[in-house]
Amino acid sequence: MPFTPYHMGPGLLVKAILRGSFSLMVFGWTQVLMDVQPLIVMVTGQGELHGYTHTYLGAVLIGAAAAVTGKPVFEWSLSAAAPTRRRRVRVTWRVVLLSGFLGSASHVALDSIMHSDVRPFAPVSSSNALLGLLSRSELHDVLIYSGMVGMVLYLVASAIASRPNKRFQQKARPSQVDSGKKR
């Protein structure tokens, strides 16, 4: 099914691990772009359901497109979400490219497990070694649980990061009055 939220589970887990080095928004945008072609096929009834977009070659192109189009939207939305900031939020190309490519490659890999028409290595090969590796139910469980674990890890890490660390805080010193003497 196009635009499935299941693909976001691994993205949440990666976000919890990589934190600021990964954009969950670009990852999610990539998931949507990956399924535009299957949606068109479903609406028109013409073409292969999981065609060129569900190959690793197609994934590279879609990952790059997601990064290029997602970067300005991501930066704008972060800036708009924090209007008290005096400067525009910038996201590095490294972050958006990594997020786009992880999003598209993981999409192909996950769909390869459950869809018999996915040919991940086309046009070089029509084989799909991942097909049937897990049942549909098992795959959905893995995706849901990875999202749950990712959310918990992210929330715990955020809570720890926002706590003041008394061990590294300097104690406030009473101000010294300059008596005019040189020390």
Using the structure block, give the residue that is written with the tokens 């997601």.
66
Q: Would you state the pLDDT for residue 107?
A: 97
Question: In the prediction, which pLDDT does 82 show?
Answer: 73
pLDDT at 5 over 70: yes
Average pLDDT estimate for 30-34: 96
In a 10 Å sphere around its CB, with 0-12 CB exposed, 13-18 middle and 19+ buried, how is residue 72 labelled? exposed
User: What does the alpha-carbon distance between residue 123 and residue 125 come to, in Å, rounded to a whole number?
Assistant: 6
Backbone φ, ψ for residue 146 (5° rounding): -65, -35
Give which of 153, 29, 50, 40 is closest to 101, Cα–Cα.
29
Query: What whole-number distance in Å separates Cα of residue 91 and Cα of residue 67?
Result: 11
* Annotated domain spans of the chain: 5-161
pTM of the full predicted structure? 0.85
> What is the spatial distance between Cα 62 and Cα 59, in angstroms, rounded to a whole number?
5
Cα–Cα distance, 135 to 129 (Å, whole number)? 14
Top-confidence residue, 162 or 134: 134
Per-residue model confidence as pLDDT tens digits over 102-158: 999 999 999 999 999 999 999 999 999 999 999 999 999 999 999 999 999 999 999
